[in-house]
Structure 1
Amino acid sequence: MEKSDRAIPLRAIDNYGKTIQKCKVVLSDYPDSKYVNDAILLMAKAQFYRSEYDDAISNLKIIYGQGSDQQVAEAKYWSAVCKWKKGKTQTAINELSEIIKISSDSNIKAQCHLSLAEISSELDRDDEFLFHLEEGAKIIKDRAEKGIVYNKLADIAFNNENYIVAEGAYKEVIKNSLTKVKIENAHLQLLKISRIQGDHRSAERKIKSMVVDEKFKNIKGNLELELVQLYIAQKDIDNAVVRLESIIKDYERTKTSSEAYFLLGQIHLSDIWKPEFAKEKFTQVKKEYNRSEYGPISDSKIKAIDAYNKSLEDLKIYETIKADTVLKDTVVSDSINNKIIKPSESYEELLYHIGDIEAFSFERLDSGVVFFKKILEHDSDSKFYPKALFTLSLIYSDINDSLNSEKYKNILLSQFPSSDYTSYLFKNNDIDKEIRPIELLFSKAESLWDSNPQLSMEAFKKVIQADSLSEISASAAYFLGYQYDFTFAEADSAHKYYQWLTLRHPKSEQNNLAKSRAKILKQLVIAAKNDSITTVN
């Protein structure tokens, strides 16, 4: 189950071929042997793994007439999964479900549930996937395999925010897994679940007892970091900072200190509001551990802080010019204005950029809202005026302030009925009377794909650049991520666009499709960096 989504190595394919030849020798040289049925079953399994499904099914049918009850049940299972691999998914589901009903063999039942889980995953049936995975885990007798399946169940349930299932599964990992790392990780995940569910006092007691327990010395740093997360969850920022400063000293030049620096940067950006100090902390993340998973996020935070400061400086230039215009001596005023070089961005664009960084990069929604509202106090002809209305409506919707959300939504509808932003917010209403410009861009990008994929990819990027907030841009980003993932095999580029969806369109259908793949790609990107780096600075 743990390797079900990985390609079978060529060496294994070759070994399966040798197994088939040996089985054929048994069948031809010893036709009366008591091992004939076992040889047929083994040959059919090897044929399955070599994707020789028709040959496997033909051999399995022989077992139906001459095998024991247990062999027949096993043959029916392998026949069903062969049909699944051939594309007869519903037939496979029906046959596997029937085997579960009639079979008394717990191992066969477990295999059926695990295969049904894989089929459900393939069909994006999340509830059925978790159900069959959990049922399979319950039935499995082998402790090691039980631990593997429960670990997979727990991780998937946790990522899907199904914390009740995840909690039970992680407890089973602790009981059954033979891998120390997975048992330690299960303990950490249980603490996270307690924190997420608000059971802070219980989690804090457990962490403090585990930190002094020699059994958990390998994850002591992780436990310290989880304690910090508990403090942050309780808005106890002072204790969080004190603990993080201690971690930095105790775990110097490690993944633990790297994460501690990242959390300090986050705190000074979102809670204490010292952006320059936050930048210093983010800069330390890769210096502590240059393969840190927080490295790319820290880099983006540093860029956001620099862009924020630059936009603020440019905004001050406009304010200086505005102040000069009130001078009574217009000749002097004109002279001063001629010496001042205006920024390339408009005043409204700078306001929007600052608000965007405040709200979405720094996670300071209230501050971001202030800048978006300032746009509404200025030129209503600016293209950032409807964009600000749109963003305010979404922000208030996300914080469940329906009154303000509807207010800005309706202003947008009344003043800009034909804009892309209006059509997005009212996409279930019939207010689209003609094709929008961004739809034309998207259509052009689509039409280029068959004749010139590279040009098409560039055209899809222009869709995103034209309007990052439009629902069309979410489709463009998903297309880019998908093609970089499966056509061009560029994991880092694919991950970039999948992550963009998470940041810009977290509730979109495209993000729902991309997020599970994004998690896999994140690990691949980190692994690739690990392979390319031989030293830690």
Structure 2
Amino acid sequence: MAFRTPRLSLALPRRRRESRRVCGPHCRSRPCRITTIVVTETTKPILGHRRRWRCALLLPVAALTTFLATSCVFFNTYYNAEKYFRQAEKARAEAEAQGDVARNPRIRTQYVTLYDKAVRKASVVLEKYPDSELVDDAMFIAGRALYWQRDYQYAIRSFSDLEHNFPESEYYNDARLWRGRTMMALGQTADARALFSKLVSEGSAVGDRAGMLQGELVADEGDVRGAILEYRNVLDSFPDSRLAAQLWLRIGDAYVGIGGSTLLDSAMAAFDRSLRVASLDSVRYRASLNRGRVQHLQGQPEAALKTYQALLTQGSFRAWEGETRILIGRHYRERLLLVEALDQFERVRDDFPQSAVSAMALYETGLLYLQEHGQRERAQEYFAEVSVEKPGSQADSLANVVMTTCAELDGLIEQVWLADSTAAAILIPASFPLSDSLALADSAATVDTTATD
């Protein structure tokens, strides 16, 4: 019988590449969603090698699992910071569109809370993963969130750290721009203007935005003509700027602010140029609306009315229909077309309830009854309803001023009435009955007649 040598299988591993999801479905971070890993396959070893092969495989798998788990936590943390920041930006934009941010602290609190969450998540990234490639991203999120929380000192520190530590970052110039904006908020206007001028002269990617902020700074200082020069300088330096429509819009507003027939023509030309290059509905609407304002100032009320009415026919301007109808109502009120004016205000209240424009419509209605009809009690009912419709709105502030003025006027009228009563009492002493006063007057008249004879 021949002796047969047993075949020893060392079960050498075969390797292949395979794409797998290596973290749970909760992880939405792009880098760890689908990862290519190396899968090692073996046949069953013999001669007692099974345990050794199993240990050899488990060690790298355990290390890989730990690495992937850490990466998943990191990316989820950064993703949450980014998510909270986007939600805060959306909430702030909606509040600013209604014009209620400065007058209603409760609305501001809603988005400030989201900004705070974004700062906390970004801080975790900076503290626990300082060597990550997303550290500059986290710094930029934290700086902007701190700015909108009005924590300006820490915001400047965040932007400065990004500039100093990551000069090659894609956010480098954006951080410089935001540092300038934060200086504006702190009242450091000279430093802000110097930084904005540098960004414009460098021709950086944010130079047009810096130039527009420079113009706004000059306008806030009361130099409207200087602001126009700043805006035009930006248009000349950045002819392909996406902000061209907004710059022409600001130039037109500045001309309207200065006044004068010649400058009103220049304002109209600026609004026309803004319309030609505008892509945003908000800018197109504002430029069109301002054209109507200029027509009104030029003594063309009917042309202005047609401009306002044309805005109502464009579906893309539906969001501003309430504002447009209020202007149309004011036009009718100025021409004593009171029924038509009330109809416009009523439509705003019906179509846009519980909004800033519906509150303004209530205020305009009360003002109409007060000024045109002299119905103070009815007007005060409308003024009181404004604070219920949209507390903290601009209309609420105006209504409170009118109601306070009416109350002061009532008090003044009462003081005048009391003064008249006091003067009458002094002329006719209380110790003299009215009949005695009349008898005394008749006696004086008789004596005077006798003396004449």
TM-score when normalising by structure 1: 0.44
Aligned length: 308
What residue identity is the alignment partner of 1:42?
A: L
Aligned partners of 1:190, 1:375: CA distance in 2, in Å? 50
Aligned-pair distance for 1:281?
Answer: 3.0
C-alpha distance in 1 between matches for 2:44 and 2:187: 67
Select the structure of larger CA radius of gyration.
Answer: 2
Match of 2:283 among 297, 306, 310: 297
- Greater shift after overlay, 251-260 or 402-411? 402-411
Distance 2:152 2:143 in 1: 9
One-letter amino acid of the counterpart of residue 336, structure 2: Y
Contact 1:262 1:298 in 2 (8 A): no
Specify the code of the residue in structure 2 equivalent to 1:136: V
The structural deviation recorded for 1:189 is 0.7
Cross-structure match for 2:370: 376
Matches of 1:387 and 1:298, distance apart in 2: 33
Question: Residue type matched to 1:296 in 2?
Answer: S
- CA pair 259-43 structure 1, distance change in 2 beyond 3 A: same
Alignment match, 1:246 = 233
Aligned-residue CA RMSD (Å)? 5.4
Distance change >3 Å, CA 346–CA 146, structure 1 → 2: closer
- Structure 1 Cα separation of the partners of residues 28 and 164 of structure 2: 30
Identical amino acids, percent of aligned pairs: 8
Q: Which of these residues, 248, 254, 272, is aligned with residue 261 of structure 1?
A: 248
> Does the C-alpha gap of structure 1 residues 198 and 399 become closer, same or farther in structure 2, counting only changes over 3 Å?
farther
Q: Secondary structure, in 3 states, of the residue corresponding to 1:235?
A: coil
Q: Structure 1 pair 303/204, CA: closer, same or farther in 2 (3 Å)?
A: closer
Tell whether the 8 Å contact from 2:78 to 2:125 is kept in structure 1 after alignment. yes
State the alpha-carbon separation in 2 of the partners of residues 205 and 24 from structure 1.
Answer: 61
Q: Distance in 2 between matches of 1:191 and 1:391?
A: 39
Match of 2:55 among 29, 32, 35: 32
* Match of residue 97 from structure 1: none
In structure 2, what is the Cα distance between the partners aligned to 1:381 and 1:369? 13
Whether 1:224 and 2:218 are equivalent positions in the alignment is no
| 1:408-432 per-position Cα deviation (integer Å, ceiling 9, x unaligned) | 39999xxxxxxxxxxxxxxxxxxxx
CA contact (8 A) 1:348 1:375 kept: no
Partners of 1:388 and 1:372 lie apart in 2 by: 6
1 or 2 for the larger relative contact order (CA 8 Å, sep ≥6)?
A: 2
Structure 2 CA distance for partners of 1:178 and 1:32, relative to 1, 3 Å: farther
In 2, Cα distance between equivalents of 1:31 and 1:255? 61
Q: Alpha carbons of 1:394 and 1:264: their partners in 2 closer, same or farther (altered >3 Å)?
A: farther
* Conservation of the 8 A alpha-carbon contact between 2:196 and 2:210: yes
For structure 2, the residue ranges without an aligned partner over 5 or more in a row are 1-24, 46-52, 88-109, 293-306, 309-323, 408-453
Please tell me whether the aligned partners of residues 204 and 227 of structure 1 are also in contact (alpha carbons under 8 angstroms): yes
CA contact (8 A) 2:272 2:287 kept: no
- Structure-to-structure mapping, 1:163-174, within 5 angstroms: 163-174=152-163
Is the CA contact 1:228–1:244 (under 8 Å) kept in the aligned structure 2? Answer: yes
How many angstroms apart in 1 are the aligned matches of 2:390 and 2:235?
A: 36
CA distance in 1, matches of 2:206, 2:397: 44
Distance 1:26 1:385, change over 3 A: farther
Cα distance between partner residues in 1 of 2:66 and 2:335: 76
Q: 1:310 to 1:373 in 2, by over 3 A?
A: closer
Matching of residue 197 in structure 1 with residue 186 in structure 2: yes
Deviations 1:475-503 (A, max 9, x none): xxxxxxxxxxxxxxxxxxxxxxxxxxxxx
Aligned residue type for 2:177: L
Q: Paired residue for 2:129?
A: 140
How big is each residue's C-alpha offset from its partner over 1:446-497, in whole Å with a ceiling of 9 and x where there is no partner? xxxxxxxxxxxxxxxxxxxxxxxxxxxxxxxxxxxxxxxxxxxxxxxxxxxx
Match of 2:403 in 1: 408
Paired residues for 1:202-213 under 5 Å: 202-212=191-201
| In structure 1, distance between residues paired with 2:333 and 2:28 | 54
Q: Which one of 328, 335, 342 corresponds to residue 346 of structure 1?
A: 342
* Contact kept? 1:375, 1:388, Cα under 8 Å: no
Q: Secondary structure at the match of 1:142?
A: coil
Check conservation: 2:115, 2:146, Cα contact below 8 A: no
Q: CA separation in 2, counterparts of 1:347 and 1:297?
A: 28
Q: Relative to structure 1, is the Cα distance of residues 399 and 147 closer, same or farther in structure 2, using a 3 angstrom cutoff?
A: same
Compared CA separation, residues 343 and 411, structure 1 to 2 (3 A): closer
2:271·2:287 contact (CA, 8 Å) conserved in 1?
Answer: yes
Cα offset, 1:244, TM superposition? 1.8
Cα separation, partners in 2 of 1:199 and 1:145, compared to 1, 3 Å: same
1:194, CA displacement in angstroms? 0.8
